[in-house]
C-alpha cells in the first residue's frame, strides 16, 4: 500500500536540479511584451503619444486600449460560479486603461518588440499626458463617496449585504457582558517563486496559450468569452507552475493584452512579469472588523455582531467576491454561537486590485473568531483552552449546521482540542515561558483553533488509461503547482489498481488533453481530484475483469483481482496476469482500456489546534521559535506532503503576523520591491512539529481526505499574535505587529 506512506515526490528531480519548464523556459520564437504603467494612483488620461517609442529599433507595435478594443467582445468579469453578479456593482475590466487610471502601476499601453531590452527602452519613450485626480486610499474615505472611482457606478461601495444567522437580538438580551472588538488584516502580497507569465500564439485562427495558472480550463473559457472565439479553438497549457497560492486563479488585463496583441500581429507574443509587476499583480487581504460580542460570565459566547469592511482595490477581480461573501459565513468557526449578524461591505480604492491568497476568506474569518475567543478569555479571566472547550460544537451534534446554514460534515472538535493540547505540550510550554519571563526573557506561548471549509465541489474530472503494456496514464482535473498532489494521486491509483507506482504517470493542465477540470485551489485536490482518479481506476478494473472473463471463459461475476492477477474465484489456478489482460484489451475485440469520469462532491471541514512560541528581543523584533500543529485532515494520503503544507503555510503565517505589509501612502504610491516588503526567509522560519490525528474523521469524497493546503496560514496568524501577547502582556488588534507596536 502507498496511501499513508511518505512516498517521495515523483517529479522532484527536475525541480531540484533546475530542469523544470516554467512559462519563461518555453522555447518558441516569440516577440516580447512590456507595459507602460501609470505613475499616478488616480488620473485622467488626456493623450498618449507613441511616436518616439515606435522609432526604437526592434519595436514592432505599441498598442493602447483603442487599438485593442475592436478585438475585445467583453471585459474581465467576476467568478459567477461563486457570486451572484446582481449583488455586485462593477464594470467589466478592460485590458488596458482607457480614459482613466485608477491605481499606480495600472497598464496604459503594451509595447511589443524583438527582445526585452528594446521593449524596456521603448516603454520610457511613450508619452502619456495625465490630469491628476485625488487619491482614495483609505477604505473609510472611499465609503464617503466624495471622490468616485468608477463614475458610472455612482458609488465606491461595490457590495453591501447584511448576513444574519440565528437569533442575535436574543443573544445580546441574554448577555452578562458585551465586549467590543476591532480586528484588522493589512494588505499582503503572496510571493510565488515564479512570477506571472504567458506566451500566446495565434495561427490559423487558433490560439495556443502557455500560461502560469491554476485554472487552465476556466482560463480557456474566459478567453473564449472575452475574444468571442470558440473555446475549441483555444488551447491553454499550464507548464510547470512555480507556486501560486491562490493568486493565479485571477486573470490579468496584461494577459488579455498579450493575447490581443498576438491575434493582432498574427505572431507569438510573450510576457513574464518582473518581480515588481508580480507584486502588483496579486495583492491580497486587507479588511477590518469592528463589532461586539455578547457573553455569559461562564465564558459562553452567545452572539457576535459588527461591520466588516473589505478593500477591493481599484477593480473587482475574478476572485475578490469570495472575501466579503464568505468571511461572515465562516466567522462562527467551530463554535456553537446563537446569533451572528455581520454587515459586510466592499469598497473600491485607488490601489492595486485585491485577489485571493492562501485561505482566501477563511484566514480572515479565523483571525476574527480566534481573536474574539482570546479577547473574551482575557476579559473574563479565563484560560484560552477553557473558553474554547466551553464553546466548541460537541461530537454528538455532528453533522452540525452553523447559523448561516453551512453543514460541518464530520469531526470531534473537543477531543482534538484535549489531545492536541497534550500532544503539543501547551501547558508545559506556558509554564516554561513563565519561568523564563521571570529571568527577563520576553518569551510567550499562544494557541488557536480553526475549522475551515475545503475540498470544494461541485465536481472534478479523472481519467485512467491502461496501455497495451499495462502501464498507466492518469489524466487529472487537478492542477498542482507546487503541492506535490500528483504524487498523492499516483499513490491512490497505485493502491486501487494494486500495481507498482513506478508504472504510473500523472498529467494535468492542458485543455486539449484533459477533458474537463475545475483546478487546484481551496485545498480540494486530495479530496476531489484524487477521488475522481480513484473512481476512474475502479471503473478500469471492472473493464479489465470483463476482458479477463473472456480470456478465462468465465462469467465476469466469477473474476476477482488481486495484486496483478485476475483469477476465477471458483478455481484459483485459472488466472491471467495484469499485463496479459492489458495486451488483450487492445489486440482483442476491445476498444482499449480507459475510463473517464466526472465525480460530483461537496465541501468538507478540516480542523485543528496550533501552538507557537515567540520571543521578542531588546529592539522589539519578534521571532517565532517553534510552531506546532495538530490537525484532523481526514485520511492522510502522504504525511510528508501534508506536513510540508503545514510548514509552508506556517512560514507565511509568520510573515503575515509579524513582517509582511503592502504599504500604500496617501498618494497611492506603493511597495513593489522586497526592500520594503519583508518576507520571511529560512532565518525567520520556526522549528516545526506537525501531527495528524490517529483516528481521522473522513470526508465524503472517496479518498476520505480533507484539505490541508491552507490550514497553517488560516490559523497561524492568530496563534502567533496570541504568543506575542503572552510574551509582552499587550493586546494586538492588527497584523502585522511591528516593533513599534511592541515597544
For residue 292, the tally of other CB atoms under 10 A from its CB is 17
Residue 313 binding partner per list ligand MCN, Mo ion, none, with a CB distance cut-off of 5 to 8 Å that depends on partner kind: none
139 vs 156: CA distance, rounded Å: 9
For position 524 contacting ligand MCN by CB under 6 A, the verdict is yes
For position 479 contacting ligand MCN by CB under 6 A, the verdict is no
Selected from 36, 181, 451, 642, the binder of ligand MCN by CB under 6 A is 642
654 vs 398: CA distance, rounded Å: 33
Q: 262 or 485: whose CB is closer to Mo ion?
A: 485
Rounded to a whole number of angstroms, the CA Rg of the chain reads: 27
Choose one: 229-237, 312-320, 517-525, 685-693; the region binding Mo ion (CB under 5 A): 517-525
Nine cell digits for residue 369: 473568531
Nine cell digits for residue 21: 519548464
Nine cell digits for residue 290: 469592528
For position 326 contacting ligand MCN by CB under 6 A, the verdict is no
DSSP 291-319: EEEEE-TTS-EEEEEEEEEEEEESS--SS
For position 641 contacting ligand MCN by CB under 6 A, the verdict is yes
CB of 708 to ligand MCN, least distance (A): 4
Nine cell digits for residue 466: 491502461
Q: Where are the beta strands (DSSP E) in 314-458?
A: 339-348, 354-355, 400-401, 407-408, 442-451
Q: 48 or 708: whose CB is closer to ligand MCN?
A: 708
Selected from 521, 566, 607, 659, the binder of Mo ion by CB under 5 A is 521
For position 128 contacting ligand MCN by CB under 6 A, the verdict is no
Nine cell digits for residue 129: 499626458
Q: 37 or 362: whose CB is closer to Mo ion?
A: 362
**Residue 646 CB-density burial (10 A; 0-12 exposed, 13-18 middle, 19+ buried):** buried
Total residues contacting Mo ion by CB under 5 A comes to: 2
For position 474 contacting ligand MCN by CB under 6 A, the verdict is no
| Secondary structure in 3-state letters for 698-723 | CCCCCCCECCCCCHHHHHHHHHHHHH
For position 387 contacting ligand MCN by CB under 6 A, the verdict is no
Residue 244 binding partner per list ligand MCN, Mo ion, none, with a CB distance cut-off of 5 to 8 Å that depends on partner kind: ligand MCN
Footprint (CB under 6 A) of ligand MCN, residues 645-664: 645, 648
541, containing H or E segment? helix 528-551
658 vs 653: CA distance, rounded Å: 8
Q: In angstroms, what CA-CA distances link 386 with 379, 486, 557, 712?
A: 13, 41, 57, 22
For position 671 contacting ligand MCN by CB under 6 A, the verdict is no
For the chain, how many residues are written? 743
Residues 6+ apart with CB under 8 A from 208: 200, 201, 235, 237
Q: 334 or 634: whose CB is closer to ligand MCN?
A: 634
CB of 587 to ligand MCN, least distance (A): 36
Binding mask 594-633 for ligand MCN (x = CB under 6 A): ---------------------------------------x
312 vs 308: CA distance, rounded Å: 13
For position 710 contacting ligand MCN by CB under 6 A, the verdict is yes
DSSP 505-538: EEE--BTTTSS----S-TT-TTTHHHHHHHHHHH
Nine cell digits for residue 655: 510573515
Which residue do the cell numbers 517553534 mark? 626
Residue 353 binding partner per list ligand MCN, Mo ion, none, with a CB distance cut-off of 5 to 8 Å that depends on partner kind: none
Q: 130 or 605: whose CB is closer to ligand MCN?
A: 605
Give the residues across from 339 on adjacent strands: 166, 303
Nine cell digits for residue 517: 477540470
Choose one: 31-39, 68-76, 679-687, 708-716; the region binding ligand MCN (CB under 6 A): 708-716
Q: Where are the beta strands (DSSP E) in 584-657?
A: 593-600, 607-616, 622-632
461 vs 525: CA distance, rounded Å: 11
Q: 480 or 509: whose CB is closer to ligand MCN?
A: 480
Selected from 313, 321, 446, 522, the binder of ligand MCN by CB under 6 A is 522
Selected from 34, 105, 216, 246, the binder of Mo ion by CB under 5 A is 246
For position 485 contacting ligand MCN by CB under 6 A, the verdict is yes
Structural contact between residues 205 and 266, judged by C-beta atoms closer than 8 angstroms? no
Selected from 85, 243, 457, 620, the binder of ligand MCN by CB under 6 A is 243
For position 519 contacting ligand MCN by CB under 6 A, the verdict is no
Footprint (CB under 6 A) of ligand MCN, residues 142-201: 192
For position 622 contacting Mo ion by CB under 5 A, the verdict is no
For residue 266, the tally of other CB atoms under 10 A from its CB is 10
Residue 287 binding partner per list ligand MCN, Mo ion, none, with a CB distance cut-off of 5 to 8 Å that depends on partner kind: none
Choose one: 491-499, 515-523, 566-574, 609-617; the region binding Mo ion (CB under 5 A): 515-523
CB of 523 to Mo ion, least distance (A): 7
Nine cell digits for residue 709: 493546503
For position 707 contacting ligand MCN by CB under 6 A, the verdict is yes
Selected from 212, 213, 402, 523, the binder of ligand MCN by CB under 6 A is 523
Q: 574 or 647: whose CB is closer to ligand MCN?
A: 647
Half-sphere exposure of 99 (CA within 13 A, CB side): 4
Residue 641 binding partner per list ligand MCN, Mo ion, none, with a CB distance cut-off of 5 to 8 Å that depends on partner kind: ligand MCN
Classified as helix, coil or strand, 484 is coil
Total residues contacting ligand MCN by CB under 6 A comes to: 37
Selected from 637, 662, 737, 742, the binder of ligand MCN by CB under 6 A is 637
Question: Could you list the residues that contact Mo ion (CB under 5 A)?
Answer: 246, 521
Residues of the shown chain interacting with ligand MCN in the complex, contacts defined by CB under 6 A? 192, 243-246, 358, 480-485, 488, 520-527, 633-638, 641-642, 645, 648, 705-710
Amino acid at each position: 500500500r502507498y496511501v499513508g506512506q511518505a512516498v517521495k515526490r515523483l517529479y522532484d528531480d527536475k525541480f531540484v536540479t533546475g530542469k523544470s519548464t516554467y512559462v519563461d523556459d518555453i522555447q518558441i520564437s516569440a516577440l516580447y511584451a512590456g507595459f507602460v504603467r501609470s505613475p499616478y494612483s488616480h488620473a485622467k488620461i488626456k493623450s498618449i503619444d507613441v511616436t518616439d517609442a515606435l522609432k526604437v529599433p526592434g519595436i514592432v507595435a505599441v498598442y493602447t486600449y483603442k487599438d485593442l478594443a475592436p478585438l475585445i467582445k467583453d471585459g474581465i468579469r467576476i467568478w459567477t460560479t461563486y457570486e451572484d453578479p446582481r449583488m455586485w456593482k462593477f464594470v467589466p475590466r478592460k485590458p488596458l486603461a482607457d480614459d482613466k487610471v485608477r491605481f499606480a502601476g495600472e497598464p496604459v499601453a503594451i509595447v511589443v518588440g524583438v527582445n526585452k531590452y528594446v521593449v524596456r527602452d521603448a516603454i520610457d519613450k511613450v508619452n502619456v499626458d495625465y490630469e491628476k485626480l485625488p487619491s482614495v486610499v483609505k477604505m473609510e474615505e472611499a465609503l464617503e463617496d466624495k471622490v468616485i472611482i468608477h463614475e458610472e457606478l455612482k458609488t465606491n461601495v461595490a457590495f453591501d449585504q447584511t448576513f444574519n444567522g440565528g437569533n442575535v437580538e436574543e443573544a445580546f438580551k441574554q448577555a452578562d457582558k458585551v465586549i467590543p472588538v476591532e480586528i484588522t488584516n493589512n494588505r499582503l502580497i503572496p510571493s510565488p517563486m515564479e512570477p506571472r507569465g504567458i506566451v500566446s500564439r495565434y495561427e490559423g485562427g487558433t490560439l495556443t496559450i502557455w500560461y502560469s495558472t491554476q485554472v487552465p480550463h476556466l482560463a480557456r473559457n474566459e478567453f473564449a468569452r472575452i475574444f468571442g472565439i470558440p473555446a475549441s479553438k483555444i488551447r491553454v497549457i499550464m507548464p510547470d507552475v512555480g507556486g501560486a497560492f491562490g493568486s493565479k486563479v485571477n486573470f490579468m488585463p496584461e494577459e488579455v493584452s498579450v493575447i490581443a496583441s498576438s491575434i493582432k500581429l498574427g505572431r507569438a507574443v510573450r510576457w513574464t512579469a518582473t518581480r515588481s509587476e508580480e507584486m502588483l499583480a496579486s495583492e491580497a487581504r486587507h479588511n477590518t472588523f469592528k463589532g461586539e460580542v455578547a457573553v455569559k460570565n461562564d465564558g459562553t459566547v452567545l452572539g457576535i455582531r459588527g461591520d466588516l469592511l473589505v478593500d477591493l482595490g481599484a477593480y473587482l477581480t475574478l476572485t475578490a467576491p469570495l472575501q466579503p461573501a464568505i468571511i461572515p459565513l465562516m466567522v462562527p468557526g467551530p463554535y456553537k454561537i446563537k446569533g451572528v449578524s455581520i454587515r459586510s461591505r466592499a469598497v473600491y480604492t485607488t490601489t492595486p486590485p485585491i485577489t485571493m491568497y492562501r485561505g482566501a476568506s477563511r484566514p480572515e474569518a479565523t483571525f476574527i473568531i480566534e481573536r474574539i475567543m482570546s479577547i473574551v478569555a482575557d476579559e473574563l479571566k479565563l484560560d484560552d483552552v477553557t473558553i474554547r472547550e466551553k464553546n466548541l460544537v460537541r461530537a454528538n451534534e455532528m453533522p452540525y449546521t452553523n447559523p448561516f446554514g453551512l453543514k460541518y460534515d464530520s469531526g470531534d472538535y473537543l477531543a482534538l482540542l484535549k489531545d492536541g493540547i497534550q500532544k503539543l505540550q501547551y501547558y508545559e510550554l506556558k509554564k516554561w515561558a513563565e519561568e523564563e519571563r521571570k529571568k527577563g526573557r520576553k518569551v510567550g506561548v499562544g494557541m488557536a483553533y480553526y475549522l475551515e471549509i475545503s475540498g470544494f465541489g461541485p465536481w472534478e474530472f479523472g481519467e485512467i488509461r491502461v496501455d497495451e503494456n499495462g502501464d498507466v496514464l492518469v489524466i487529472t482535473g487537478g492542477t498542482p503547482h507546487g503541492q506535490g498532489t500528483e504524487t498523492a494521486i499516483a499513490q491512490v491509483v497505485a493502491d486501487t489498481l494494486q500495481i507498482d507506482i513506478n508504472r504510473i504517470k500523472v498529467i494535468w493542465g492542458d485543455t486539449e488533453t484533459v477533458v474537463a477540470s475545475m483546478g487546484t485551489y481551496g485545498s480540494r485536490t486530495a479530496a476531489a481530484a484524487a477521488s475522481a482518479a480513484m473512481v476512474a481506476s475502479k471503473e478500469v478494473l471492472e473493464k479489465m475483469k470483463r476482458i479477463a472473463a473472456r480470456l478465462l471463459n468465465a462469467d465476469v461475476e466469477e473474476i476477482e483481482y488481486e495484486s496483478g492477477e485476475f483469477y476465477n474465484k471458483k478455481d484459483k489456478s485459472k488466472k491471467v496476469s495484469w499485463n496479459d489482460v492489458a495486451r488483450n484489451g487492445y489486440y482483442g475485440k476491445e476498444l482499449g482500456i480507459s475510463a473517464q469520469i466526472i465525480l460530483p462532491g461537496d465541501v468538507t471541514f478540516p480542523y485543528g489546534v496550533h501552538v507557537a512560541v515567540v520571543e521578542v528581543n531588546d529592539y522589539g523584533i519578534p521571532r517565532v521559535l517553534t510552531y506546532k500543529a495538530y490537525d484532523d485532515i481526514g485520511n492522510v494520503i502522504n504525511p510528508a506532503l501534508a506536513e510540508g503544507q503545514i510548514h509552508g503555510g506556517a512560514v507565511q503565517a509568520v510573515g503575515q503576523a509579524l513582517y509582511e505589509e503592502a504599504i500604500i501612502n496617501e498618494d497611492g504610491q506603493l511597495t513593489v520591491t522586497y526592500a520594503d516588503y519583508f518576507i520571511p526567509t529560512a532565518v525567520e522560519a520556526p522549528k516545526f512539529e506537525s501531527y495528524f490525528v490517529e483516528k481521522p474523521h473522513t470526508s465524503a469524497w472517496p479518498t476520505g481526505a480533507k484539505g490541508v493546503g491552507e490550514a497553517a496560514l488560516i490559523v497561524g496568524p492568530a496563534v502567533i499574535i496570541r504568543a506575542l501577547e503572552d510574551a509582552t502582556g499587550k493586546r494586538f488588534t492588527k497584523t502585522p505587529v511591528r516593533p513599534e507596536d511592541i515597544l
